[in-house]
Structure 1
Amino acid sequence: MPSNYEKPRGNRDNKPRRPKRDDKPRTDRAKRDDRPRRDAKLRTDRPVRDESGVPAPLGDFVIGRHPAIEALKSDQEINKVWLQEGMRADAMKEIMDLAKEKGLVIQSAPKSKLDDLSDNQNHQGVVLSVAAFKYASIDDMFAAAAAKDEAPFFLILDSIEDPHNLGSIMRTADAAGVHGIIIPKRRAVQLTATVAKTSTGAIEHVPVARVTNLVAAVEDLKKKGLWIFGTDMNGTDYRKWDAKGPVALIIGNEGKGVSQLLKKSVDEMLTIPMIGHVQSLNASVAASLLIYQGFSTRHPF
């Protein structure tokens, strides 16, 4: 075999190798790029986002008779009223009358349909299809206090995660005349159907504002003259709290309490004394005790 022998290029059968893609003439590259790609699909299911980039829900549901009545009496935008087939007419009379006054579509459906819409919650035979729950601004909360000629009384919820807790807190806040609730936009429960159901209609009457940064919001409230009170294991006995004047009360996360950064902005810490074996309370229960202590000093006998 000659020493200068060179093995032919190709595969094992000595067939000429296929030219690589880059070996092809590039004269038709522009034409190939103009062709539609198979995976280039128009996406129409992307969620709408608010100014902070948080996905905003496209719609929700109000579940249960009392929440439905409160929603129908409010300015909430309602798309359709779902009523369970076979329900007594007298049980649904007020709901039907309110829906007819607003010219809403009333749809009769089997119980299984309402179970699906409500995620198997106790809907009591009625579900309202509504637009996404609207959030207020902090200015709206100040306006609500001014309309009643009262000093502002706000709640600040530091990353409450359970929708039942938020709904219960809203229910107590409405009963005690709280002018508004501030929640963070991230890492906390938002206004949902479960919150609306648990609040038994209070969601229609208590303004809820979302903020990007709770610490910054608290500092802004302090500049506007509010005294900020927090909750902690160590602090002043809540029964000594005098909530007269413009105040805001911070309720901490169910497990972690008030964050360390937020604690630094608080004017005074309040504590609920406990003598039992369990040294903690559910967030909504603790909030109720504190809210009504504030109520008792603001509205004495």
Structure 2
Amino acid sequence: MAGNSKRRGAMRKEGTKKGMVVGSGGQRRRGLQGKGPTPPAEMRPGHPAARRAARAATAKAKQGGRGGDRRRPGDGETPETVLGRNPVVECLRAGVPATALHVALGTNADDRVAEAVQLAADRGISILEVPRGDLDRITGGALHQGVALQVPPYAYAHPDELLEAASESPDPGLIVALDGVTDPRNLGAVVRSVGAFGGHGVVVPQRRAAGMTAVAWRTSAGTAARVPVARATNLTRTLREYATAGFMIAGLDAEGTVSLDDFELATDPLVLVVGSEGKGLSRLVRQTCDVTVSIPLAGQVESLNASVAAGVVLAEVARQRRVRRA
């Protein structure tokens, strides 16, 4: 009969707590809860991938080069994740610095995935196979096609480092400053042109301007690994400091006071300032320039893309300097 069983715990004694006393009674339910997904290999203490990542970070810090702690990794930016098979392969081909390649388990390994894995392995980048759900979480649910590349914030140079590089060159200094250029593809293309025509670096404002994202790296076609990009807290002040150091400041402007055909300052130490396509040079930057230069255009075209205009002027500067050396 219910309630008369002598089985231990079947009857409650007076003065005891209500309910059965045998068993956990659900008191250890909290201890049975899951602890979440397994962290990536490079975040597990003692894991070989974590040790490789630590060694890579130490080596990168030692290779910071001249200027030491003046290199500022990203100025508060966070790591970037490149998604999709084509973008990931293009970034790896261009030498974009990366810390990890995430590949979802069960991903169809076509030629692009195979090439991405091979390129990452050749460069010593950690290759992590993760469940597709974990990759969805890492990418915020965006379309990733089973692969994602983790890119750390870019380590910007200090503006003074560009002066040091120019002072050590046998040619007159040549620096490009971007004023309000917000498209990272334009930034990458300018970096590529600076490297092609013997420039010593690029300066970008810290705010309201494109930074060295993976897109900019990819557009530079690897040139960003050789051409330093500095970030200025105040671009106008930095330009004045360059002028004090002996540089002429020339701004590109569709209504410039000097035509590129008559640009005699090309053989002097020069800072070329490129404004945005829509607004051009800002007022304070324009006032800082010693001269504004226009590019003669034929036909009905009113203006050029910012990176194209910079490439045209850099090519003319390089030509005039070759003629002078000859």
Structure-1-length-normalised TM-score: 0.68
> For the residues of structure 2 that align with 1:240 and 1:126, how far apart are their CA atoms?
52
Q: 1:210-252: per-residue Cα shift (whole Å, max 9, x none)?
A: 1122221111111100011111213211133242231100101
Q: Name whichever structure is richer in helix by fraction.
A: 2
Alignment match, 1:139: 160
Asked if residue 225 in structure 1 is aligned to residue 249 in structure 2, the reply is no
- Number of residue-to-residue matches in the alignment: 240
What's the CA shift for 1:276? Answer: 2.0
Alignment match, 1:59: 79
> For the residues of structure 2 that align with 1:143 and 1:81, how far apart are their CA atoms?
36
Instruction: Give 1:71's aligned amino acid.
Output: G
Alignment match, 2:99: 79
Alignment match, 2:259: 237
Note the residue ranges of structure 2 that are not aligned, 5 or more in a row: 1-71
Spell out the pairing of 1:91-130 with structure 2 (5 A cutoff).
Answer: 91-92=115-116, 95-99=119-123, 102=124, 104-107=125-128, 128-130=149-151
> For the residues of structure 1 that align with 2:163 and 2:117, how far apart are their CA atoms?
37
> For the residues of structure 2 that align with 1:289 and 1:111, how far apart are their CA atoms?
47
> For the residues of structure 2 that align with 1:191 and 1:140, how far apart are their CA atoms?
17
Contact kept? 2:159, 2:238, Cα under 8 Å: no
Counterpart of 2:164 in 1: which secondary structure? helix
Contact kept? 1:66, 1:201, Cα under 8 Å: no
What's the CA shift for 1:208? Answer: 1.2
Q: 1:49-97: per-residue Cα shift (whole Å, max 9, x none)?
A: xxx9x9721212464445424537xxx4x32124675234984586145
Alignment match, 1:250: 273
> For the residues of structure 2 that align with 1:262 and 1:175, how far apart are their CA atoms?
26
Contact kept? 2:202, 2:230, Cα under 8 Å: yes
Counterpart of 1:264 in 2: which secondary structure? helix
Counterpart of 1:128 in 2: which secondary structure? strand
Contact kept? 1:68, 1:127, Cα under 8 Å: no
* Alpha-carbon RMSD: 3.4
Spell out the pairing of 1:149-298 with structure 2 (5 A cutoff).
Answer: 149-232=170-253, 233-242=255-264, 243-298=266-321
> For the residues of structure 1 that align with 2:118 and 2:292, how far apart are their CA atoms?
46
Seen in structure 2, the aligned counterparts of structure 1 residues 59 and 93 have a Cα distance that, compared at 3 Å, is closer
Seen in structure 2, the aligned counterparts of structure 1 residues 127 and 202 have a Cα distance that, compared at 3 Å, is farther
What's the CA shift for 1:168? Answer: 1.6
Contact kept? 1:161, 1:187, Cα under 8 Å: yes
> For the residues of structure 1 that align with 2:132 and 2:108, how far apart are their CA atoms?
7
Q: 1:86-116: per-residue Cα shift (whole Å, max 9, x none)?
A: 23498458614523xx3x31135799969x5
- Which 10-residue stretch deviates more, 290-299 or 55-64? 55-64
Structure-2-length-normalised TM-score: 0.63
Seen in structure 2, the aligned counterparts of structure 1 residues 120 and 217 have a Cα distance that, compared at 3 Å, is farther
Identity of aligned residues (%): 29
Seen in structure 2, the aligned counterparts of structure 1 residues 107 and 85 have a Cα distance that, compared at 3 Å, is farther
What's the CA shift for 1:289? Answer: 0.7
> For the residues of structure 2 that align with 1:94 and 1:252, how far apart are their CA atoms?
40
Q: 1:117-152: per-residue Cα shift (whole Å, max 9, x none)?
A: 9x769x9x9753122111101222123334543321
Alignment match, 2:15: none
